[in-house]
Every structure is written in structure tokens, then in C-alpha cells.
Amino acid sequence: MRLSRYFLPVLKETPADAQIVSHRYMLRAGMIKQSSAGIYSWLPLGFKVLRKLENIVHEEQVRAGHIPMLMPTLQSADLWRESGRYDDYGEEMLRISDRHGRDMLYGPTNEEMVTDIFRSNVSSYKDLPLTLYHIQWKFRDEIRPRFGVMRGREFLMKDGYNFDLTREDALHAYNRHLVSYLRTYERMGLQAIPMRADGGPIGGDYTHEFLVLAETGESEVFYDSAVTDLKFGDRDIDFDNKEQCESILEEFTTKYARTDETHDEALFNEIPEDRRRVARGIEVGQIFYFGTKYSEAMGAMVQGPDGKKVPVEMGSHGIGVSRLLGAIIEASHDENGIIWPEGVTPFHVGIINLRQGDDGTDAACESLYAELTAAGLEPLYDDRNERAGGKFASMDLIGLPWRITVGPRGLKNGVVELTSRRTGESEEMSPEAAVARVKEIYANH
Ligand code: 5CA
């Protein structure tokens, strides 16, 4: 993409109403624009990152054997009356009526709808196990929407629902989700720690939240610092292997890590004192096992091998896709702007032309642009007629992890400069070497 043809409305001033750094940088980098409280337009740069996150989530869900689909945002109130949640959900639910006076709502989550799909189509254990998921916009009329996309009213969520014959199979589905989530967050450059939590309006007493540690997080968390040493890394996982998934769950959840809702002071005090941590975290996902809560209320029954009909065992599993943008920025930035991890960056590398209009410099930039593009990478070429200082400031703000700077002085010696946004370190090399290096960096992303 050439910056002169892109839509990147960068703000010079720090917006006064944004309290946390991710919100400020998302506004300043022209990623989002508020349309009303807690509701945002995703401008091209923000949309690009959002799509990247969605893709990672899809890839990891499919890898775990889960099946993508899409359910609507507007739901009929009748389904929610069956489960009893139409009254229970309270003021967070946005209720609407259509021209015929039918009660509708903008879905805050989809347990009822997916259970209805299941009961209409599945009646035998032979069709199990089954996990269906979608990535869809949700609406929760939060009392205090704040911190930009972090606590929105309209937000993008991946929500998945498992259907199993037995409790044991449903717990395997739970473990499988935990494992796939660990992979998902690590690919995004994040450490998200699973912590024992509370079921809230979804229900169920077996649930973990995934938290990214950050001072600006809304949740208070208590943990053994040894959990932060755990890395998922590049493991070979067989998602059908119950023992393997369970042992990973044990590895990642045995050490003490809880949100304030389930915090137990006595257990916490058993951790060696120098490893006790009280901190704040951003909840980027939650998994729930709730057994037959919805299937019993809504009559979602399956026939087992013995011919008996039993309510299907279920759980639901969510990732806050739009919130993740904020969480990644909170975890990865400096005083000049965002620092995107390679796995989610909107463009792979920035090209800065220090002397726009100079034939040699323009030609060198054009050829870098063409070669990077031919290598399957997406460069962002700052070809605007602006001073170098302004170009550097914008590039730092939008946070591409790598930058190639091209100027007449370097070109005289046959070199350009490759700079890491994270370390600030620069290296001079030939344009060919710079292309090769950037290709190598992204070979695994
Ligand atoms: N049905 C279940 C799992 S599919 C569910 O709704 N779970 S949840 O309530 O925990 O939401 C899942 C994730 O969505 C949360 O972990 C959080 O990351 C994200 N989320 C929840 N509320 C908001 C909000 N107001 N703004 C942005 N993200 C949110």
C-alpha cells in the first residue's frame, strides 16, 4: 500500500477523553472512530488488524477440530424465554421490537440460538462430539462503556459451543479449548494466563478466564509468579488425545492463579512469599463447562448407545476479538506509539522515502516495494511529500515492527537502513539484503 493512496487519518493531538494508552493510540493512529458510546467504526488500519486476529482465531479453531458457521446478530426473545435468561439478563440486553410488535434482541451471546440449531438437527450420539463456533458482533448495553474497544457495547467475539454425550467428553472439549486458546494468544504475541473464575450470567461453576497482565486491566488477579514462566511454544498437539489435552490443562492451571471472584486467601498464602503477586489483568477470553443447563431447559436431547435419551452436555468458549486489539497495545507499546508483534501487524514493513521526488531514491523505493510485494509481504510505502521527521513519527505511532529507510546518501554507498521498531536498532545493508532479511523474519508468521 502506498500511504498517499491509503486512508490513515493520524491525529497529532492526544485525544482528551481517552484514559488509557491503547485507546489513545488507536484514536491517534486512525484505527477507530467512535460513533456513539461504546460503538466504533473500524477505519482501514484498525480493520486490518481486526481481520488478522480473526484469521488467527479461525485457523486455531479449525486446527482443534471446531466447525465455523455464522449466526445472526438479532435474535428472537422467545428462545431466551425458554432458557429463562430473557428476564435474568437484565439491562445489559438491548431489546428491540419489530414492525409486528415481536420482541427481538441484539445478541449478547448465543447459547440459546445454537442449542435451538442443535435440537432441530441432531438426535443421536453418533453425531457427537460436535463443536460449532462463529465470530460475530455482540451487543451488551454496558453501564460504563470505556477504554475504547476494551469495554465496548458493540464488540466482536468468537463464541464456540461444544455438544457431547458424556461429562467426560464435555470436559475434554473444555481442555481442548484451553489448549487451542493458549496457542491462539501466543501467536498474537501475548501471554494470556488461564485463571479460575466465576460463571456470571453464562452459568456453570467450572470456568477459566484468560488474562493478559496490564496495569490498566479491569480485573484484580492473584497468582503465583511461576505461572508467567510457562510457555506453550511450538508443541505438536493431537486434539483428539484426551490425556495430552488434560496434561496441558494441568500444567497451565495447577499453580495458583485466580481472579478476585474466586480468590482464596488461605490457598494464596501457601505460595512462597516471594512468588505471590497481586496485579491487574485484561480478560481476553473465557471458557465454561455448564453441563445440561441449556439442553435441559430447551429440550436438546440425544439418544445414547443404550437407546436412552439424555440432555446433551455442553460448554461455551469465548474470545474477545475486538478487545484483543486494545490488550495487545497495552502489552506492547512505548512513548512513541504501538509496537505490533509480527503475527498481527497490519503491514509487515514500512518503507520511508527520505527524498520524495529524487529520481534515484524514488526508483529504489519502488523496486523495494515491488520485491517485497512479490515475496508475498505487505509493505506500507510512505511516499508522501512530507518532511522526514513527520514520516518517522507516523511510522512509529502506527507501530510496524520493521522499517526500511531509503535516502540519497545511503544509496550512494549502495545501502538502505533496516530498523527494528522494538529495539530501535538499525543496520545498513543493500536493498536486496533488506528484502531477504524481512522475508526471513516473516517466514514463520
Ligand atoms: N458465551 C460465553 C462464551 S462464548 C460468553 O459470552 N463469554 S464472556 O461473557 O466471557 O465473553 C467472552 C469474551 O468477550 C470475554 O472474555 C471478553 O474478552 C469479551 N468481552 C465481553 N464483554 C465485552 C465488552 N463489553 N467489550 C469487549 N469485549 C468484551
pLDDT in tens, 339-367: 999 999 999 999 999 999 999 999 999 99
3-class secondary-structure state, position 233: coil
> Rounded to whole angstroms, how far apart are CA atoms 163 and 314?
5
Q: Ligand 1 pocket, 152 CB below 6 A?
A: yes
Number of H helices, E strands in the chain: 14, 23
Atom of ligand 1 nearest to the CA of 159: 4
**What single-letter DSSP state applies at residue 312?**
P
151 phi, psi to nearest 5 deg: -125, 85
Contacts of 410 (CB under 8 A, 6+ apart): 416, 417, 428
Torsion over CA of 241, 242, 243 and 248, rounded to 10 degrees?
A: 90
Atom of ligand 1 nearest to the CA of 142: 25
CA-proximal residue: ligand 1, atom 12 (nearest): 318
Most informative mutation of 157, 202, 317 for ligand 1 (most atoms within 8 A of CB): 157
Q: Ligand 1 pocket, 431 CB below 6 A?
A: no
CA-proximal residue: ligand 1, atom 11 (nearest): 318
Query: pTM higher than 0.85, yes or no?
Result: yes
Cα-to-centroid distance, 238 and ligand 1 (Å): 27
Q: Ligand 1 pocket, 112 CB below 6 A?
A: no
Asked if 134 and 158 touch (Cβ cutoff 8 Å), the reply is yes
Pairing of strands 426-429, 416-420: antiparallel
The reported pLDDT for the residue numbered 203 is 77
Q: Ligand 1 pocket, 135 CB below 6 A?
A: no
Atom of ligand 1 nearest to the CA of 209: 16
State the cell numbers at 331.
Answer: 502489552
The reported pLDDT for the residue numbered 445 is 85
Asked if 276 and 227 touch (Cβ cutoff 8 Å), the reply is no
Cα-to-centroid distance, 70 and ligand 1 (Å): 17
CA-proximal residue: ligand 1, atom 20 (nearest): 320
Question: What does pLDDT average to over the chain?
Answer: 97
The reported pLDDT for the residue numbered 199 is 82
The reported pLDDT for the residue numbered 12 is 85
Q: Ligand 1 pocket, 286 CB below 6 A?
A: yes
For the chain, which ranges sit under pLDDT 70?
A: none
> Rounded to whole angstroms, how far apart are CA atoms 225 and 272?
10
The reported pLDDT for the residue numbered 444 is 84
Cα-to-centroid distance, 283 and ligand 1 (Å): 8
> Rounded to whole angstroms, how far apart are CA atoms 307 and 109?
33
Cα-to-centroid distance, 257 and ligand 1 (Å): 20
Asked if 157 and 138 touch (Cβ cutoff 8 Å), the reply is yes
The reported pLDDT for the residue numbered 204 is 76
Cα-to-centroid distance, 371 and ligand 1 (Å): 41
Q: Ligand 1 pocket, 397 CB below 6 A?
A: no
Cα-to-centroid distance, 192 and ligand 1 (Å): 15
Cα-to-centroid distance, 286 and ligand 1 (Å): 7
Q: Ligand 1 pocket, 284 CB below 6 A?
A: yes
Atom of ligand 1 nearest to the CA of 319: 13
Q: Distances from the Cα of 399 to the Cαs of 339, 421, 425, in angstroms? A: 4, 7, 15
Atom of ligand 1 nearest to the CA of 140: 25
Percentage helix, strand, coil for the chain under 3-state DSSP, each rounded to 5? 40, 30, 35
pLDDT in tens, 414-432: 999 999 999 999 999 999 9
State the cell numbers at 265.
Answer: 486467601
